[in-house]
Amino acid sequence: MLLRFGSKPVLVVSSAAAACEITKNPRPSIRSLCVVHLLSNKRVLSFRTVREEETTLMIDKIKQSYSSLPSSVVNLTELFMSLTNNVVCRVALGRKYGGEVRFKELLGEFVEYLGFFDVGDYIPWLWWVNKINGLYDRVERVAKELDDFIESVVEEHERGGREGGHEDFVDVLLQVQRENMSSGSPIHRESVKALILDMFSAGTDSTASVLEWVLAELLGHPLILKKLQNETLRLHPPVLLVPRESMRDTQVMGYDIAARTQVFTNVWTIGRDPSLWARPDEFWPERFMDGLVDFKGHDFEFIPFGAGRRGCPGIQFVVSVDELALANLVGNFDFSLPVGEELDMSEAAGLTVHKKTALLAVCDSSLGKNNRKEK
């Protein structure tokens, strides 16, 4: 469907066949760098200890809450954001950043502003609207604070002033930068900082979003415990619309598309297409029991992380964090809604699709104790 948002042509792709054509693009060099050096299976596996330690801390925190007051309500949304932020901090930067910087708040603001509608992008002569309402000033403030923080992290790594530990993403990026200095395609400092920010904005938000929706669906369907992840990703893809822009005149499904047309792949609609999925709006994990379809970008009817050579390079990282956290949560707790509360499955607008309201639950840790006794 070709639309026009003001002066900007916008193509919305809502079928698996069209999505397949859209994603047939040359491999970008930056994505290749991420896949080869930062997010390879070997690299992700090397951070296993970090994932295990942070997951254990989260589980222990929930257990302490249950021990002090069994009927206490736990804010799972907050816990999941904290878990993923801590994992990404340690993996990317080498350590967690606590009270010395308001990094978590800055990152939240950054992701929020990424999802804002900028009327000037589509109706250029109305650029002044977001200037008057203060949006541009707020965005510039957050961008400046984030840039200063990331610059300080890079400088700390260059000085070798960090304590102990494994080789993190910043170490790897600086090493690749040094190796490429003499080549014809050097990696500039701004690119290094942009990649670090990408790791956080994509890794933290989407990873927490998947956990949030999995547990929300569990609370609504307490007897279904198999094939949770795939079905949750189908119903609630972390990114609703995967954006692209055509670099030159091209064709999609026989239609002429002009250069610089904004292209959105509607992952949400494809995941609920009745021609591809039986009972498309139902939470039915058994549909994945045959294992013929997965979320890694090979099956275009199911592309929550994008597909093709421009698909998300961090799929393995997100899955490794979410699977470990989910297995520990399901294995240690019985979850129920707070007394008198109903499950709200409304979705919030934004770059990443979160629940509109925080996920609150009573977490009964007696399940974990019973499991240990049975063993």
Binding residues for heme: 312
Q: Is 335 left (phi over 0), alpha (psi -120 to 50) or beta?
A: beta
Report the length, in residues, of the chain: 375
Question: Which residue in 177, 156, 152, 184 sits closest to 33, CA to CA?
Answer: 177
Tokens coding 263: 């292209």
What are the backbone dihedrals phi and psi of residue 82, each rounded to the nearest 5 degrees, phi first? -65, -45
Distance CA 251, CA 77 (A): 42
- With contact defined as beta carbons under 8 Å apart, do 272 and 235 qualify? yes
HEC secondary structure over 147-213? HHHHHHHHHHHHHCCCCCCCCCHHHHHHHHHHHCCCCCCCCCHHHHHHHHHHHHHHHHHHHHHHHHH
Tokens coding 107: 């990152």
Instruction: Read off the DSSP letter of residue 340.
Output: T
HEC secondary structure over 179-190? HCCCCCCCCCHH
- With contact defined as beta carbons under 8 Å apart, do 199 and 88 qualify? yes
Any idea which residue has 């080549």 for tokens? 183
254 alpha carbon, distance to own chain's centre:
33
Residue 256: strand pairing partners: 251
270 alpha carbon, distance to own chain's centre:
19
Sheet holding 2-5, edge to edge: 2-5, 8-13, 262-266, 241-245
Q: List residues forming the annotated binding site.
A: 312
Distance CA 197, CA 92 (A): 10
The count of C-alpha atoms lying within 13 angstroms of the C-alpha of 280, restricted to the half-sphere facing its C-beta, is 12
Distance CA 241, CA 352 (A): 9
